[in-house]
Amino acid sequence: MEAMAVTARPKLDAERLRADFPYLEELLNGKPVAYLDSASSTQKPRQVLDAMREFYEHSYANVHRGVYRLSERATEGFEGARHKVAKFVNAPSPREIVFTRGATESLNLVAYAWGLDNLGKGDVVVITELEHHSNFVPWQYIASRTGASFRHIPIDDAGELRLDALDEIAASGRVKVVANNLVSNSLGTVNPVEKLAAWAHDQGAIMVVDAAQAAPHRAIDVEALGCDFLAFSSHKLCGPSGIGALWGKRELLEEMSPFNLGGEMIRSVALDKTSWNELPHKFEAGTPAIAEAFGFGAALDYVSAVGLDAIEEHEHELTAYALERLGELDWVRSYGPPADRRAGIVSFNVDGVHPHDVAQILDWEGVAVRAGHHCTQPLMTRLGVSATTRASFYLYTVSEEIDRLVEGLKKAKSQLG
């Protein structure tokens, strides 16, 4: 580690931050759970929980329509969160931020509202072999509905995209959409989205970025990425579940038809004609997750105060340490690129022990990991496995928890391997 460390980045004090997280107060055999499933969903700090409680107690009403003061306060809190999201991803305007239920709904919104009107025979939709099902299946479905072809960028054995395949894909038809995750949820691979965005635009295609796994762990700048849409979720960055965001370029959002209909997305309705509301409300049907949006904003405040650069560096150190410790076990096989090209995610298998059994035995040791295909079945097929065990880290993770993981794996191997 020391040899490659670039120590100009600010340091994060995980021990101090752990005091913010109530889940650590519950002990099992005298120890808090070693929560190594943050890539799935993170734990919540007191600051976010308090902000939501405060909001419900003092500022809650339905948003936008109320003339009374309580509704104004709620609207202010809700729209204030939209401004925070815009700032977090460096969006040119909060009008380009659509609140959704999460990254999955954001990606479905683009696939349906943009895809159904813009795709047809002869068009090509490009995803990658690394994609989460949430950015894979909507495009597979809309491609099949519209007659567009559906192509994937393959990965190499280290789990990195093979950009040498792009020429052949470009030759196969009119590329209209490139959809890719910035960070792979299964392997942690950090993908070259800037390069893909430039290539997509050369083809006349739009670039859709699934940042669900990236936004919690590194600073996001939609302008620097050069993408057209970017999706992420609150619950993976210390915020509540049930809320997320879609950023889209204004010209594209304006041209698009709505996705869900009714409620807030309406300007006027008659028997023969209905007009849509302005951006971003055109895409926000029904009463939104109001307090959740407020909590989302509080979570963005929290992780921003810790510092995205510091979080990235902290996870990088943990990942390097985990790969080193797992490397000591010759019966563990880990997948994915080296630590310097991945986020805080480590996927591996124990020889002779199924991931579900590994996870079960780890749970008895108070170590929480995920076992399964991680919603990336095409990737599992490529790796030639049915499942992996995945440990993932966040700002409250400490290296002792990785030690506990390794001890648990030894137990699993000796009992079942």
Partner 1 sequence: MSEFDQLYREVILDHYKNPRSHGLLEAPDAVAEGQNPLCGDEVSVSLRFDGDRISEVGFEGRGCAISQAATSMLTEIVQGKTVDEVARMPKEELLEEIGIPLTPVRLKCAILGLGVLKVALHKAKGTPLPEEWTGAGDLTIA
Binding site for partner 1 (CB under 8 A): 64-67, 71-72, 75-76, 79, 95, 250-251, 253-255, 257-258, 264, 266-268, 271-279, 281-282
Which of 254/324 has CB closer to partner 1?
Answer: 254
Residue with tokens 């055109």: 282
Helix (H) or strand (E) holding 313: helix 308-327
Question: Exactly one of 74, 177, 358, 375 is catalytic; which is it?
Answer: 375
Cα dihedral 361→367→372→378 (10° resolution): -140
CB of 228 to partner 1, least distance (A): 15
CB of 258 to partner 1, least distance (A): 8
Which of 257/386 has CB closer to partner 1?
Answer: 257
Please say if 238 is a catalytic residue: no
CA 185, chain centre distance (Å): 8
CB of 104 to partner 1, least distance (A): 25
CB of 187 to partner 1, least distance (A): 38
Contact between 276 and 135 under an 8 Å Cβ cutoff? The reply is no
Which of 253/359 has CB closer to partner 1?
Answer: 253
Which of 67/305 has CB closer to partner 1?
Answer: 67
Question: CA 324 → CA 1, 109, 128, 319, 402, distances in Å?
Answer: 10, 41, 28, 8, 11
The DSSP bridge pattern shows strands 206-210 and 229-233 to be parallel
Handedness of CA 55, 60, 65, 66 (dihedral sign): negative
- Beta-carbon neighbour count of residue 45 at 10 Å? 25
Which of 250/411 has CB closer to partner 1?
Answer: 250
CB of 274 to partner 1, least distance (A): 5
Q: In sequence order, what E strands does 122-258 have? A: 123-128, 149-153, 174-181, 206-210, 229-233, 244-248
Which of 250/354 has CB closer to partner 1?
Answer: 250
Rounded to the nearest 5°, which phi and psi values hold at 178? Answer: -120, 125
Transcribe 34-90 into DSSP letters: EE-BTTT-----HHHHHHHHHHHHHS-S-SSS--SHHHHHHHHHHHHHHHHHHHHTT
**Could you list the active site residues?**
375
